[in-house]
Amino acid sequence: MKITIIGTGYVGLVTGACLAEIGNDVFCVDVDPRKIGILNGGGVPIHEPGLKEIIARTRAAGRIEFATDIQASVEHGDVQFIAVGTPPDEDGSADLQYVLEAARNIGRYMNSYKVIVDKSTVPVGTAERVRAVVAEELAKRGLADSPQHRFSVVSNPEFLKEGAAVDDFMRPDRIVLGIDDDAAGQIAREKMKRLYAPFNRNHERTLYMDVRSAEFTKYAANAMLATRISFMNEMANLADRVGADIEAVRRGIGSDPRIGYHFLYAGVGYGGSCFPKDVQALIRTASESGHNLRILEAVEDVNQAQKEILVRKITGALGDDLTGRTFAVWGLAFKPNTDDMREAPSRRLIAELLTRGATVRAYDPVALDEARRVFAMDLDGEPEQRARLHFVNTQDETLTGADALVIVTEWKEFKSPDFAYLKSVLKSPLIFDGRNLYEPEAMTELGIDYHSIGRPYVQPSHRP
């Protein structure tokens, strides 16, 4: 099938590459010539395991191309995926300007039946707005009643985990399709069924529903996962106070099949491109409908507070004034296997440490370049603080002479460090672990002063 992907961000690239991998003819378009230049030069502007290899294979086979030519992209695809960004507006609602501009371009240039697929995460009712914009552009061309220029708008939300997106796309838990039940919708249903047939060979994964329900499903799914994270962080904060071990509690409740273990790890709060903006957007949608989502409002409040939990533990041990202190920070991306720094807890932590006078030496396996970019913006106008923030190329480089190690992201390479070396180069054997990577008992036996999330603090022994 001939497929057009509008937008070469995270969702667009993964969608386009994976659809090309299974044999489709894919045209990826973007208004950003820098991104297209990177892609045509053999690079990939995001870090996602396996993605670069798929793009290289499909480009060599002639099944995927990248360009800025909007008219050519509309003419190419029978199915037009809108996969542009929907950043949060100032009031927390999703900004749909890029989605609607994509729809406007489709209306300007389409000359045959098109299935227009909302792949971006969009609020309930967006498909109707897309339909109206396309119809408006066709009317300007005098083609409002042209049978040749019929179109359908489908909601097909993505459910991709950053760091595992390629596998999620190729082996989906479910494929949600919101399609109108009319004549044009039936054509769209058959085209989408054909497109996704390779993913349904073992068993049917496609869930058909009305368009609004499909739009709502994406937000509800992310809201549920965010709720589980904030719930567990609330429990961890209480466990700190009452002397319980949140890891033991997690195993105890996760063993109940009605609950399960997924998204029940205590930590420093969620970040990334999805959960923060989707929770805010759903809260805003509810408000516009005259309804308050009290649980999600609490989820958001808990998450914002949780991003400060490590700072509270650090100041509790070392005092509010951290002038002259140096901290080694391991992990900058909001989660492993990605370079995504959007809403990353490390940004709040490092900003607080710098504000309190500390020096920070930070390392991340893949997010260093993106971290440099975002902190240049975060610290714009704060040259003195920027001078105290250093990005280094190995985790060991962060440690020498540091007053403490702070762990923010649970990269695999952080899970089994050389603790003897760590003790020998830190000023004092002090670790603040925002991901509970180590066992407190083992740390105390090693003589390491270890502070984690929701687990009892034990005074370390003084073994050498």
Contact criterion met (CB below 8 Å) for 266 and 233: yes
Mean pLDDT of 328-336: 97
Work out the burial of residue 5: count CB atoms within 10 Å of its CB; fewer than 13 is exposed, 13-18 middle, 19 or more buried: buried
Same domain assignment for residues 336 and 203? no
pLDDT tens digits, one per residue of 230-280: 999 999 999 999 999 999 999 999 999 999 999 999 999 999 988 999 999
Nearest partner of 86 among 67, 102, 73, 104, judged by Cα: 102
pLDDT of residue 444: 92
Q: Do residues 413 and 365 make contact, with C-beta atoms less than 8 angstroms apart?
A: yes
| Structural domain boundaries enclosing 244 | 219-304
Q: In this structure, is residue 457 part of a structural domain?
A: no
Please tell me whether 266 is known to bind a ligand.
Answer: yes
Q: Is residue 251 part of a domain?
A: yes
- The response to whether 307 counts as a known ligand-binding position is no
CA atoms within a 13 Å half-sphere pointing along the CA-CB vector of 84: 17
Tell me the CATH number at 381: 3.40.50.720
Quick one: 335 and 249 in the same domain?
no
The residue behind tokens 């932590």 is 349
Domain co-membership, 111 together with 188? yes
pLDDT score at 18: 98
Q: Which residues are catalytic?
A: 274
Do 298 and 314 share a domain, yes or no?
Answer: no
Last residue of a domain, one of 304, 325, 359: 304
Asked whether the predicted pLDDT for residue 464 surpasses 50, the reply is no
Shared domain for 262 and 158, answered yes or no, is no
Residues 447 and 356 in one domain: yes
Percent of the chain with pLDDT over 70: 99
- Is 456 part of a structural domain of the chain? no
> Of 181, 209, 237, which residue is a domain's last?
209
Is the pTM higher than 0.85? The answer reads: yes
Residue 214 lies in a domain: no
User: Does 301 appear as a known binding residue?
Assistant: no
Residue 227 sits in the same domain as residue 201: no
| Residue 225 in domain | yes
pLDDT in tens, 307-320: 999 999 999 999 99
Q: How many domains does the chain have?
A: 3
Same domain, 44 and 175: yes
Across the chain, mean pLDDT equals: 95
Is the pLDDT score of 220 beyond 60? yes
CATH code, 234: 1.10.1040.10
Contacts of 75 (CB under 8 A, 6+ apart): 109, 111
Domain end: 209, 231, 264, which one?
A: 209
Q: Helices 246-254 and 211-242, interaxial angle, to 10°?
A: 140
Same domain, 73 and 195: yes
- Let me know if residue 266 belongs to a domain: yes
Mean pLDDT on 14-18: 98
User: Across the strands, what pairs with 66?
Assistant: 28
Q: Would residue 462 count as lying in a domain?
A: no
- Is residue 458 situated within a structural domain? no
User: What is the C-alpha to C-alpha distance for residues 289 and 390, in angstroms, rounded to an integer?
Assistant: 47
Helices (H) and strands (E) in the chain, counts: 18, 14
Question: Is 191 annotated to bind ligand?
Answer: no
Q: What is the pLDDT of residues 181-215, one digit of tens each?
A: 887 788 999 999 999 999 998 889 999 999 999 99
- Residues 42, 57 contacting (CB under 8 angstroms): no
Q: Are residues 245 and 159 in the same domain?
A: no
Rounded Cα gap, residues 386 and 40, in angstroms = 34
Q: Are residues 351 and 446 in the same domain?
A: yes
Q: Is 263 annotated as a binding residue?
A: yes
Task: Tell me, yes or no, whether 261 and 165 share the same domain.
Answer: no
Q: Is the pLDDT of residue 433 over 50?
A: yes
Reported residue count of the chain is 464
What amino acid is encoded at 82 in this protein?
A: I
